[in-house]
Structure 1
Amino acid sequence: MMENNNYLSISDILVTNEKIPCKFLHDLPKMGFLDPSAAEDDLKAGTNVEIPLWLAESLYSRRPPLVTVDLPKIYKDSYREILNADACTVDMHKLSQYFYEFGCYIAKHDIKGEVASTLINTFRQRFRMLLSASVSTDSIGAIQPLSVNERHQAAAAAAMEKALQTWLHRGDSVLTTANMVANHRKRKRAEMEMF
Protein backbone atom coordinates (compact mmCIF):
# COMPACT_ATOMS: atom_id res chain seq x y z
CA MET A 1 0.00 0.00 0.00
CA MET A 2 1.24 3.51 -0.75
CA GLU A 3 2.13 5.87 2.04
CA ASN A 4 -0.51 8.47 2.87
CA ASN A 5 1.91 11.35 3.59
CA ASN A 6 0.44 13.43 0.77
CA TYR A 7 -3.04 11.96 0.82
CA LEU A 8 -4.83 15.27 0.23
CA SER A 9 -2.20 16.80 -2.06
CA ILE A 10 -3.53 17.53 -5.54
CA SER A 11 -0.06 17.20 -7.06
CA ASP A 12 0.40 13.80 -5.40
CA ILE A 13 -2.95 12.68 -6.79
CA LEU A 14 -1.80 13.76 -10.26
CA VAL A 15 1.53 11.96 -9.81
CA THR A 16 -0.07 8.69 -8.73
CA ASN A 17 -2.48 8.90 -11.67
CA GLU A 18 0.44 8.62 -14.15
CA LYS A 19 0.33 5.38 -16.14
CA ILE A 20 2.90 2.65 -15.57
CA PRO A 21 3.47 -0.54 -17.61
CA CYS A 22 2.52 -3.74 -15.76
CA LYS A 23 2.28 -7.42 -16.56
CA PHE A 24 -0.55 -9.37 -14.96
CA LEU A 25 0.52 -12.60 -13.29
CA HIS A 26 -2.93 -14.16 -12.81
CA ASP A 27 -6.23 -14.30 -14.67
CA LEU A 28 -8.60 -11.62 -13.39
CA PRO A 29 -12.30 -12.20 -14.05
CA LYS A 30 -14.37 -9.23 -15.26
CA MET A 31 -11.25 -6.99 -15.51
CA GLY A 32 -10.87 -7.08 -19.29
CA PHE A 33 -11.82 -3.40 -19.48
CA LEU A 34 -8.30 -2.55 -18.24
CA ASP A 35 -6.89 -3.71 -21.57
CA PRO A 36 -8.32 -1.59 -24.41
CA SER A 37 -7.41 -4.27 -26.97
CA ALA A 38 -9.09 -7.13 -25.06
CA ALA A 39 -12.02 -8.83 -26.71
CA GLU A 40 -13.01 -10.78 -23.57
CA ASP A 41 -14.43 -9.75 -20.22
CA ASP A 42 -11.59 -11.48 -18.34
CA LEU A 43 -7.99 -10.27 -18.17
CA LYS A 44 -5.60 -13.13 -18.92
CA ALA A 45 -2.29 -13.79 -17.16
CA GLY A 46 0.67 -12.45 -19.13
CA THR A 47 -1.22 -9.41 -20.43
CA ASN A 48 0.81 -6.20 -20.53
CA VAL A 49 -1.23 -3.10 -19.72
CA GLU A 50 -0.48 0.46 -18.69
CA ILE A 51 -2.45 1.30 -15.56
CA PRO A 52 -2.34 4.22 -13.09
CA LEU A 53 0.40 4.06 -10.48
CA TRP A 54 -2.08 3.95 -7.58
CA LEU A 55 -3.72 0.83 -9.04
CA ALA A 56 -0.39 -0.79 -9.88
CA GLU A 57 0.86 -0.22 -6.32
CA SER A 58 -2.31 -1.74 -4.90
CA LEU A 59 -2.10 -4.82 -7.13
CA TYR A 60 1.65 -5.20 -6.57
CA SER A 61 1.40 -5.03 -2.77
CA ARG A 62 -1.06 -7.94 -2.55
CA ARG A 63 0.23 -11.35 -1.47
CA PRO A 64 0.81 -12.96 -3.89
CA PRO A 65 1.34 -9.95 -6.20
CA LEU A 66 -1.11 -9.74 -9.08
CA VAL A 67 1.24 -7.71 -11.31
CA THR A 68 4.90 -7.07 -11.99
CA VAL A 69 5.76 -3.42 -12.47
CA ASP A 70 8.02 -2.35 -15.33
CA LEU A 71 9.83 0.99 -15.50
CA PRO A 72 8.15 3.69 -17.61
CA LYS A 73 10.13 4.66 -20.70
CA ILE A 74 11.31 7.96 -19.20
CA TYR A 75 13.30 6.03 -16.57
CA LYS A 76 14.74 3.37 -18.89
CA ASP A 77 18.31 3.25 -20.21
CA SER A 78 17.85 5.37 -23.34
CA TYR A 79 16.36 8.33 -21.45
CA ARG A 80 18.73 7.78 -18.54
CA GLU A 81 21.71 8.15 -20.90
CA ILE A 82 20.31 11.42 -22.26
CA LEU A 83 19.70 12.78 -18.77
CA ASN A 84 23.13 11.74 -17.52
CA ALA A 85 24.82 13.28 -20.58
CA ASP A 86 23.15 16.71 -20.36
CA ALA A 87 19.94 17.05 -18.40
CA CYS A 88 19.75 20.79 -19.05
CA THR A 89 18.84 20.25 -22.71
CA VAL A 90 15.76 18.20 -21.83
CA ASP A 91 12.39 19.96 -21.73
CA MET A 92 11.25 18.34 -18.50
CA HIS A 93 7.78 19.82 -18.80
CA LYS A 94 7.20 17.85 -22.03
CA LEU A 95 9.01 14.71 -20.86
CA SER A 96 7.23 14.37 -17.54
CA GLN A 97 5.70 17.22 -15.59
CA TYR A 98 6.19 15.32 -12.32
CA PHE A 99 9.54 13.72 -13.18
CA TYR A 100 11.04 13.81 -9.67
CA GLU A 101 7.91 12.90 -7.73
CA PHE A 102 6.97 10.07 -10.09
CA GLY A 103 10.58 8.86 -10.01
CA CYS A 104 10.48 8.61 -6.23
CA TYR A 105 7.55 6.21 -6.49
CA ILE A 106 9.16 4.27 -9.35
CA ALA A 107 12.58 3.97 -7.66
CA LYS A 108 11.39 1.20 -5.36
CA HIS A 109 10.59 -0.96 -8.40
CA ASP A 110 14.06 -0.45 -9.89
CA ILE A 111 16.16 -3.43 -8.84
CA LYS A 112 19.44 -1.85 -10.01
CA GLY A 113 18.83 1.42 -8.15
CA GLU A 114 19.61 3.51 -11.22
CA VAL A 115 16.42 5.56 -11.11
CA ALA A 116 17.34 7.12 -7.76
CA SER A 117 20.82 8.05 -8.95
CA THR A 118 19.37 9.48 -12.17
CA LEU A 119 16.98 11.67 -10.19
CA ILE A 120 19.84 13.04 -8.10
CA ASN A 121 22.17 13.58 -11.06
CA THR A 122 19.43 15.23 -13.10
CA PHE A 123 18.62 17.66 -10.32
CA ARG A 124 22.30 18.46 -9.77
CA GLN A 125 22.76 19.26 -13.45
CA ARG A 126 19.58 21.32 -13.67
CA PHE A 127 20.18 23.25 -10.44
CA ARG A 128 22.09 26.09 -12.14
CA MET A 129 19.31 26.43 -14.74
CA LEU A 130 16.81 26.50 -11.87
CA LEU A 131 18.72 29.34 -10.20
CA SER A 132 18.88 31.36 -13.39
CA ALA A 133 15.13 30.83 -13.91
CA SER A 134 14.48 32.18 -10.42
CA VAL A 135 16.24 35.51 -11.14
CA SER A 136 15.45 35.79 -14.85
CA THR A 137 13.50 38.72 -16.18
CA ASP A 138 12.29 36.53 -19.07
CA SER A 139 10.31 34.31 -16.73
CA ILE A 140 8.28 32.45 -19.38
CA GLY A 141 11.34 31.50 -21.45
CA ALA A 142 13.32 30.44 -18.38
CA ILE A 143 10.50 28.47 -16.77
CA GLN A 144 9.22 26.73 -19.92
CA PRO A 145 11.53 23.64 -19.77
CA LEU A 146 11.11 23.10 -16.01
CA SER A 147 9.04 20.40 -14.34
CA VAL A 148 6.24 21.35 -11.95
CA ASN A 149 8.47 20.85 -8.91
CA GLU A 150 11.26 22.90 -10.46
CA ARG A 151 8.76 25.67 -11.27
CA HIS A 152 7.62 25.78 -7.65
CA GLN A 153 11.23 25.95 -6.45
CA ALA A 154 12.08 28.70 -8.96
CA ALA A 155 9.02 30.70 -7.88
CA ALA A 156 9.95 30.34 -4.20
CA ALA A 157 13.55 31.38 -4.94
CA ALA A 158 12.33 34.38 -6.95
CA ALA A 159 10.07 35.45 -4.07
CA MET A 160 12.98 35.17 -1.63
CA GLU A 161 15.27 37.12 -3.97
CA LYS A 162 12.65 39.86 -4.31
CA ALA A 163 12.15 40.01 -0.53
CA LEU A 164 15.91 40.25 0.02
CA GLN A 165 16.29 43.03 -2.55
CA THR A 166 13.38 44.92 -1.00
CA TRP A 167 14.93 44.61 2.44
CA LEU A 168 18.39 45.66 1.21
CA HIS A 169 17.05 48.72 -0.64
CA ARG A 170 14.66 49.76 2.08
CA GLY A 171 17.32 51.80 3.90
CA ASP A 172 15.03 53.24 6.56
CA SER A 173 16.56 51.30 9.44
CA VAL A 174 20.29 51.40 9.97
CA LEU A 175 21.85 48.42 11.69
CA THR A 176 23.12 49.43 15.13
CA THR A 177 24.68 47.68 18.07
CA ALA A 178 22.14 46.19 20.44
CA ASN A 179 21.94 47.78 23.90
CA MET A 180 22.77 44.47 25.55
CA VAL A 181 25.97 44.13 23.51
CA ALA A 182 26.99 47.75 24.15
CA ASN A 183 26.39 47.35 27.91
CA HIS A 184 28.35 44.08 27.91
CA ARG A 185 31.32 45.84 26.27
CA LYS A 186 31.15 48.64 28.84
CA ARG A 187 31.13 46.15 31.73
CA LYS A 188 34.04 44.22 30.21
CA ARG A 189 36.03 47.44 29.76
CA ALA A 190 35.28 48.43 33.34
CA GLU A 191 36.42 45.00 34.59
CA MET A 192 39.64 45.25 32.58
CA GLU A 193 40.39 48.70 34.00
CA MET A 194 40.03 47.33 37.54
CA PHE A 195 42.94 44.96 37.06
Structure 2
Amino acid sequence: MDNDYYSLTAVLADNHKLACTFSQDVPGMGHMDGSTEPDLRAGAKAELPMWLASSLCLNELTEFVVPPPFGARVKAALNASAPSVRLSSLVGQGGWWYRFGAGVAEIWDRGDDLLGTLLRAFIKRLPALQDLAAHHASSDVSVPESGPGTGEAFREGMDADERELFHIGQTSGSMVKSWYDTVWGRRR
Protein backbone atom coordinates (compact mmCIF):
# COMPACT_ATOMS: atom_id res chain seq x y z
CA MET A 1 0.00 0.00 0.00
CA ASP A 2 1.66 3.10 -1.21
CA ASN A 3 1.11 6.51 0.30
CA ASP A 4 2.53 8.34 -2.66
CA TYR A 5 1.47 11.97 -2.98
CA TYR A 6 0.29 11.34 -6.54
CA SER A 7 -1.54 8.08 -5.77
CA LEU A 8 -5.28 8.35 -6.37
CA THR A 9 -5.94 5.47 -3.98
CA ALA A 10 -3.99 7.23 -1.23
CA VAL A 11 -6.03 10.38 -1.82
CA LEU A 12 -9.31 8.42 -1.64
CA ALA A 13 -8.24 6.59 1.53
CA ASP A 14 -7.16 9.84 3.19
CA ASN A 15 -10.58 11.35 2.53
CA HIS A 16 -12.34 9.18 5.15
CA LYS A 17 -13.71 11.20 8.05
CA LEU A 18 -12.40 10.97 11.61
CA ALA A 19 -14.44 12.36 14.52
CA CYS A 20 -12.13 14.76 16.39
CA THR A 21 -12.42 16.89 19.50
CA PHE A 22 -10.40 20.10 19.58
CA SER A 23 -8.16 20.35 22.63
CA GLN A 24 -7.38 24.04 22.17
CA ASP A 25 -9.13 27.16 20.93
CA VAL A 26 -8.50 27.74 17.23
CA PRO A 27 -9.14 31.33 16.08
CA GLY A 28 -10.92 31.92 12.79
CA MET A 29 -11.95 28.28 12.23
CA GLY A 30 -15.48 28.25 13.65
CA HIS A 31 -16.88 27.11 10.30
CA MET A 32 -15.24 23.69 10.72
CA ASP A 33 -17.81 22.46 13.23
CA GLY A 34 -20.73 24.14 11.48
CA SER A 35 -21.28 26.84 14.07
CA THR A 36 -21.75 30.55 13.53
CA GLU A 37 -19.00 31.41 15.99
CA PRO A 38 -15.82 32.81 14.39
CA ASP A 39 -13.51 30.70 16.57
CA LEU A 40 -13.39 27.02 17.46
CA ARG A 41 -13.43 26.49 21.21
CA ALA A 42 -11.64 23.71 23.07
CA GLY A 43 -14.03 20.77 23.28
CA ALA A 44 -15.67 21.45 19.90
CA LYS A 45 -16.28 18.32 17.83
CA ALA A 46 -15.88 18.03 14.08
CA GLU A 47 -15.72 15.29 11.46
CA LEU A 48 -12.46 15.92 9.61
CA PRO A 49 -10.90 14.16 6.63
CA MET A 50 -8.05 11.87 7.61
CA TRP A 51 -5.42 14.03 5.91
CA LEU A 52 -6.40 17.03 8.05
CA ALA A 53 -7.16 15.10 11.25
CA SER A 54 -3.76 13.41 11.24
CA SER A 55 -1.94 16.72 10.94
CA LEU A 56 -4.00 18.30 13.71
CA CYS A 57 -3.62 15.27 16.01
CA LEU A 58 0.13 15.12 15.53
CA ASN A 59 0.33 18.83 16.42
CA GLU A 60 -1.83 18.15 19.50
CA LEU A 61 -4.68 20.42 18.41
CA THR A 62 -7.22 17.60 18.34
CA GLU A 63 -7.90 14.23 19.92
CA PHE A 64 -10.03 11.37 18.65
CA VAL A 65 -11.56 8.13 19.79
CA VAL A 66 -11.00 5.02 17.75
CA PRO A 67 -13.55 4.94 14.92
CA PRO A 68 -16.20 2.16 15.12
CA PRO A 69 -14.74 0.23 12.13
CA PHE A 70 -11.71 -0.54 14.34
CA GLY A 71 -13.49 -0.91 17.68
CA ALA A 72 -13.99 -3.92 19.92
CA ARG A 73 -17.11 -5.21 18.09
CA VAL A 74 -15.37 -5.40 14.73
CA LYS A 75 -12.23 -6.87 16.30
CA ALA A 76 -14.32 -9.60 17.97
CA ALA A 77 -16.09 -10.36 14.68
CA LEU A 78 -12.75 -10.57 12.88
CA ASN A 79 -11.39 -12.94 15.53
CA ALA A 80 -14.49 -15.14 15.25
CA SER A 81 -14.61 -15.36 11.44
CA ALA A 82 -12.61 -12.80 9.49
CA PRO A 83 -13.91 -13.80 6.01
CA SER A 84 -17.53 -13.23 7.07
CA VAL A 85 -16.99 -9.55 7.99
CA ARG A 86 -18.09 -7.13 5.27
CA LEU A 87 -15.15 -4.73 5.28
CA SER A 88 -16.55 -2.80 2.33
CA SER A 89 -19.47 -1.51 4.38
CA LEU A 90 -17.45 -0.49 7.45
CA VAL A 91 -15.88 2.73 6.15
CA GLY A 92 -17.92 3.66 3.07
CA GLN A 93 -16.59 5.58 0.07
CA GLY A 94 -15.05 2.62 -1.74
CA GLY A 95 -14.20 0.64 1.36
CA TRP A 96 -10.54 1.45 2.01
CA TRP A 97 -10.65 -0.25 5.44
CA TYR A 98 -6.99 -1.32 5.58
CA ARG A 99 -5.64 2.04 4.42
CA PHE A 100 -7.89 4.02 6.74
CA GLY A 101 -6.86 1.75 9.61
CA ALA A 102 -3.18 2.23 8.81
CA GLY A 103 -3.73 6.00 8.84
CA VAL A 104 -5.48 5.84 12.21
CA ALA A 105 -2.71 3.61 13.60
CA GLU A 106 -0.11 6.15 12.49
CA ILE A 107 -1.52 8.84 14.78
CA TRP A 108 -2.95 6.70 17.60
CA ASP A 109 -0.88 5.93 20.69
CA ARG A 110 -2.04 2.28 20.53
CA GLY A 111 -1.40 2.03 16.81
CA ASP A 112 0.66 -1.15 17.03
CA ASP A 113 -2.38 -3.02 18.34
CA LEU A 114 -4.47 -1.75 15.43
CA LEU A 115 -1.78 -2.66 12.89
CA GLY A 116 -1.72 -6.17 14.36
CA THR A 117 -5.50 -6.41 13.95
CA LEU A 118 -5.25 -5.28 10.32
CA LEU A 119 -2.51 -7.80 9.58
CA ARG A 120 -4.34 -10.71 11.26
CA ALA A 121 -7.54 -9.84 9.38
CA PHE A 122 -5.68 -9.76 6.06
CA ILE A 123 -3.94 -13.08 6.73
CA LYS A 124 -7.22 -14.78 7.72
CA ARG A 125 -9.06 -13.41 4.67
CA LEU A 126 -6.34 -14.10 2.09
CA PRO A 127 -7.08 -17.84 1.50
CA ALA A 128 -10.75 -17.11 0.73
CA LEU A 129 -9.65 -14.30 -1.60
CA GLN A 130 -7.19 -16.57 -3.42
CA ASP A 131 -9.72 -19.39 -3.76
CA LEU A 132 -12.37 -17.07 -5.12
CA ALA A 133 -9.96 -15.46 -7.61
CA ALA A 134 -8.83 -18.88 -8.84
CA HIS A 135 -12.43 -20.01 -9.17
CA HIS A 136 -13.36 -16.91 -11.17
CA ALA A 137 -10.32 -17.39 -13.39
CA SER A 138 -11.68 -20.72 -14.59
CA SER A 139 -14.26 -20.89 -17.35
CA ASP A 140 -17.08 -21.64 -14.89
CA VAL A 141 -17.59 -18.60 -12.68
CA SER A 142 -20.48 -20.02 -10.68
CA VAL A 143 -19.18 -20.30 -7.15
CA PRO A 144 -20.97 -22.62 -4.78
CA GLU A 145 -21.73 -21.17 -1.36
CA SER A 146 -20.27 -23.39 1.34
CA GLY A 147 -20.60 -21.21 4.41
CA PRO A 148 -20.14 -17.69 5.68
CA GLY A 149 -17.26 -15.77 4.22
CA THR A 150 -17.09 -17.70 0.98
CA GLY A 151 -18.25 -17.11 -2.57
CA GLU A 152 -20.13 -14.05 -3.69
CA ALA A 153 -20.96 -12.92 -0.14
CA PHE A 154 -17.24 -12.65 0.55
CA ARG A 155 -16.63 -10.90 -2.77
CA GLU A 156 -19.25 -8.25 -2.03
CA GLY A 157 -17.67 -7.59 1.38
CA MET A 158 -14.11 -7.14 0.12
CA ASP A 159 -12.13 -4.03 0.94
CA ALA A 160 -10.88 -2.00 -2.05
CA ASP A 161 -7.34 -3.39 -1.69
CA GLU A 162 -8.75 -6.92 -1.57
CA ARG A 163 -10.77 -6.22 -4.71
CA GLU A 164 -7.56 -5.12 -6.42
CA LEU A 165 -5.81 -8.33 -5.34
CA PHE A 166 -8.83 -10.34 -6.48
CA HIS A 167 -8.63 -8.74 -9.93
CA ILE A 168 -4.88 -9.45 -10.14
CA GLY A 169 -5.43 -13.08 -9.08
CA GLN A 170 -8.29 -13.53 -11.49
CA THR A 171 -6.33 -12.04 -14.41
CA SER A 172 -3.18 -14.06 -13.72
CA GLY A 173 -5.23 -17.23 -13.24
CA SER A 174 -6.92 -16.66 -16.60
CA MET A 175 -3.52 -16.10 -18.24
CA VAL A 176 -2.16 -19.35 -16.75
CA LYS A 177 -5.27 -21.25 -17.88
CA SER A 178 -4.97 -19.80 -21.37
CA TRP A 179 -1.28 -20.74 -21.54
CA TYR A 180 -2.01 -24.23 -20.22
CA ASP A 181 -4.82 -24.78 -22.74
CA THR A 182 -2.58 -23.63 -25.63
CA VAL A 183 0.43 -25.70 -24.62
CA TRP A 184 -1.47 -28.86 -23.78
CA GLY A 185 -3.89 -28.38 -26.66
CA ARG A 186 -0.99 -28.61 -29.15
CA ARG A 187 0.31 -31.81 -27.58
CA ARG A 188 -2.90 -33.74 -28.08
Give the aligned partner of residue 174 of structure 2.
162
Amino acid in structure 1 at the alignment position of 2:26:
L
Quote the RMSD (CA, aligned, Å): 2.4
Is 1:49 matched with 2:49? no
Runs of 4+ in 1 over 3 A off after TM superposition: none
Consecutive unaligned residues in structure 2, runs of 5 or more: 144-150
SS at match of 2:46: strand
Structure number, greater radius of gyration: 1
Deviations 1:49-105 (A, max 9, x none): 22111111222233xx21123321111222211122212111111113001111111
1:124 maps to which residue?
123
Amino acid at match of 1:16: D
Q: Distance in 2 between matches of 1:129 and 1:171?
A: 29
Consecutive unaligned residues of structure 1, counting only runs of 5 or more, are 175-195
Q: TM-score, normalising length from structure 1?
A: 0.77
**Greater relative CO (CA pairs within 8 A, separation 6+):** 2
Query: Helix, strand or coil: the match of 2:175?
Result: helix
Correspondence for 1:106 among 104, 107, 111:
104
Asked if 1:60 is matched to 2:57, the reply is: yes
**Percent of aligned positions that are identical:** 27
Return the alpha-carbon distance in structure 1 between the equivalents of residues 81 and 108 of structure 2: 22
Q: 1:192 corresponds to which residue?
A: none
TM-score, normalisation: structure 2: 0.80
**Counterpart pick for 1:93 among 80, 88, 93:** 88
Residue 78 of structure 2, aligned match among 68, 80, 83: 83
- Report the number of matched residues: 169
